[in-house]
Amino acid sequence: MLDWIYRFDLSVFNAVFQLHSPVLNFFMKTITYLGEDGLFWIILAVVLCLFRKTRRFGVFLAGALLIEVLFNELVLKSIFERPRPFNYQPWQDAGLYVFPEIVPRPSSFSFPSGHTASSFAAATVLFCANKKWGTPALVLAALIGFSRVYCGVHYCTDVLAGMLVGIVVGIAAYFLIRALFRLLKQKKPGITKYFDGI
Provide mean pLDDT across the span 24-33: 96
Mean pLDDT, all residues of the chain: 91
By the 10 Å C-beta count (0-12 exposed, 13-18 middle, 19+ buried), 92 is classed as: middle
**CB-facing half-sphere around the CA of 173: CA atoms within 13 A:** 33
Q: What is the pLDDT of residues 108-140, one digit of tens each?
A: 999 999 999 999 999 999 999 999 999 999 999
Provide mean pLDDT across the span 11-19: 95
In whole angstroms, give the CA distance from residue 130 to residue 110. Answer: 31
pLDDT at 1 over 80: no
Q: Is the distance from CB of 125 to CB of 170 less than 8 angstroms?
A: yes
> Of 142, 149, 145, whose CA–CA distance to 127 is shortest?
142
Q: Would you place residue 166 in the very low, low, confident or very high pLDDT band (cuts 50, 70, 90)? A: very high
Q: Would you place residue 193 in the very low, low, confident or very high pLDDT band (cuts 50, 70, 90)? A: low
pLDDT in the model for residue 183: 81
In whole angstroms, give the CA distance from residue 15 to residue 21. Answer: 13
CA torsion angle for 185, 188, 191, 192 (degrees, to 10)?
0
In whole angstroms, give the CA distance from residue 108 to residue 42. Answer: 20
| Peptide bond between residue 100 and the one before it cis (omega within 30 degrees of 0) | no
pLDDT at 170 over 80: yes
pLDDT at 168 over 70: yes
Provide mean pLDDT across the span 59-80: 93
pLDDT at 95 over 90: no
Say which range, 61-70, 135-144, 179-188, has the weakest mean pLDDT.
Answer: 179-188
pLDDT at 93 over 70: yes
Q: Which residues of 32-60 are buried (b: 16+ CB within 10 A; e: fewer)?
A: bbbbeebebbeebbeebbeeeebbbbbbb
Name the pTM for this structure.
Answer: 0.91
